[in-house]
Amino acid sequence: MKRGFLNSSKVKKQRLYAQNESKPASTEYFKDIEGLPKLAYGRVEDTSLPSDYDASWKPESMSSDASKTHYGEEVVGTTTIPPRFLDGPPDPDGHSEWLFWGPTKVKVVGLPGYPRPIPKPTHPNMCVVRSTPDKGLGVFATRDIKVGELIFSERPLLVVPTGIRAMSPIPKHYSQEKKLQIAMFQQEKSVEPAVDRMDEAQKKAFMALANSHKEDGSGPLYGIIRTNGIGLGNLGDGPKPPAGQYYPPQFMYTAICELGSRINHSCMPNVKFSFKLSSFSLQSSASKDIKAGEELFYSYCPVLQTAADRRKDLAPYGFECKCPACLHATPATDKLRAEFLDRIRRVVQAWSEKCKSPVHDITMLDPLLELQKDVTREGLDSQGQYPFLTEVIATAYMSLGMVGQAQRYQEVKHRWDSMAKDED
């Protein structure tokens, strides 16, 4: 029987592709190795597994009905999402393969309206993939795009847990390096069934993605996942985080996408990703105005840290960032990034105090406009807190009767608000 298919009478009724599930070898199954460990990158001299380790290990796999939604904690499954019918056409918005931990699947398929169609941008083909001189392939805008506009949305090729997890017990006597090599090996084995389930076009697209982990012991699939994964803060294992917060990194999932994963890094990004659970799709929206022909960028690391810390975070991707913010980094720009959130918070607070009495003096706007200029020069106008600053500036202009200026700044806030409203 071909893996991934059921030929039981149940399937004849459901007419769905089956999913695979694997049972744990012990209660250690799927536990983290010391949280989210730092994995090796670059060239690792010895990537071998210990000679007494059973390298023929692979997750035990059984097929089950893809319409099943509730699982115990001990199950790890691979499913096609949304379900794919054996005798029907594929979903017009595409399918993802998802390696999930038992109780997490129902968090998606139990949502009202699931599976919803993926959101569509107002214009088709708003971007194109092409070569860059120094970063491999990249994605470029084909038209002017306004902040907040949806550029594209897509179902990921693959979604897997972000945190590396031991899929079967790893003997305690091995060194941490060897334990990590084993964990990476198990990770590779655990995603093989998910990649096997892809159709030819999906598999081709997945295998064509960049891989900056060819010499550190990551297998070919896991290397692609490490290079291209986009963290999904709102899809994770365990208890749901409070509103507005993300799952902790070791419990989040990561998406590998045909288009989104072609977007290169910049510390001055112009794209924001969000994940819609009910349509199981990744949205890429403009986090600032983008001109036709400009390259799209998102940040692979937290941007509100110093250039040196960003460089450290980016090292596993095998490149040194040459964005203007990195090339022209100074202690002052490091400080601006470190203090960005605080400064915005202070401005908003101070302004709400001032608003209690009318504003007549245009010079009161100077510090606000100066901060806005610094923030924009540093590329931080792509951050979700920036519209709070533009709103304060809009209010100030309005109280001075400068309606045109006020509207220009207020529009940025409105566009961010409508982008946030679209998230689920």
Ligand X SMILES: C[S@@+](CC[C@H](N)C(=O)[O-])C[C@H]1O[C@@H](n2cnc3c(N)ncnc32)[C@H](O)[C@@H]1O
The residues that touch ligand X, with contacts defined as CB under 6 A, are 134-138, 209-210, 212, 227-228, 261-262, 264-266, 317-319, 321
Using the minimum distance from each CB to ligand X, give the nearer residue, 117 or 233.
233
CB proximity list for 258: less than 8 A, separation 6 or greater: 154, 157, 205, 206
Q: How far is the CB of 341 from ligand X (least distance, A)?
A: 24
C-beta closer to ligand X: residue 261 or 284: 261
Least distance from C-beta 321 to ligand X, angstroms? 5
Burial letters 403-413, b for 16+ CB under 10 A, else e? eebbeebbbbb
Q: Whose Cβ is closer to ligand X: residue 232's or residue 393's? A: 232
3-state secondary structure the chain: CCCCCCCCHHHHHHCECCEEEECCCCCCCCEECCCCCCCCCCCCCCCCCCCCCCCCCCCCCEEECCCCCCCCCCCEEEEEECCCECCCCCCCCCCEEEEEEHHHHHHHHCCCCCCCCCCCCCCCCCEEEEECCCCCEEEEECCCECCCCEEEEECCCEEEECCCEECCCCCCCCCHHHHHHHHHHHHHHHHHHHHHCCCHHHHHHHHCCCCCCCCCCCCHHHHHHHHHCEEEEEEECCCCCCCCCCCCHHHEEEEECCCHHHCEECCCCCEEEEEECCCCEEEEEECCCECCCCECEECCCCCCCCHHHHHHHHHHHCCCCCCHHHHCCCHHHHHHHHHHHHHHHHHHHHHHHHCCCCCCCHHHHHHHHHHHHHHHHCCHHHCCCHHHHHHHHHHHHHHCCCHHHHHHHHHHHHHHHHHHHCCC
Q: Between 33 and 210, whose beta carbon lies closer to ligand X?
A: 210
Least distance to ligand X, CB of residue 238, Å: 27
Considering beta carbons, is residue 86 or 129 the nearer one to ligand X?
A: 129
Q: Which is nearer to ligand X, 212 or 287 (CB)?
A: 212
Do the Cβ atoms of 282 and 275 come closer than 8 Å? yes
Provide, rounded to whole angstroms, the least separation between the CB of residue 265 and ligand X: 4
Q: Which is nearer to ligand X, 264 or 333 (CB)?
A: 264
Distance in Å, CB of 256 to ligand X, minimum: 9
Nearest approach, Cβ of 396 to ligand X (angstroms)?
36
Shortest Å, Cβ 266 to ligand X: 6
Which CB, 204 or 240, lies closer to ligand X?
A: 204
Residue nearest to ligand X (CB): 136
Q: Which is nearer to ligand X, 130 or 146 (CB)?
A: 130
Cα 149 to the center of its chain, rounded Å? 18
Please, what is the minimum distance in Å from the beta carbon of residue 228 to ligand X? 4
Closest contact distance (angstroms) between CB of 168 and ligand X is 30
Q: Which is nearer to ligand X, 136 or 220 (CB)?
A: 136
Nearest distance from C-beta of residue 247 to ligand X, angstroms: 21
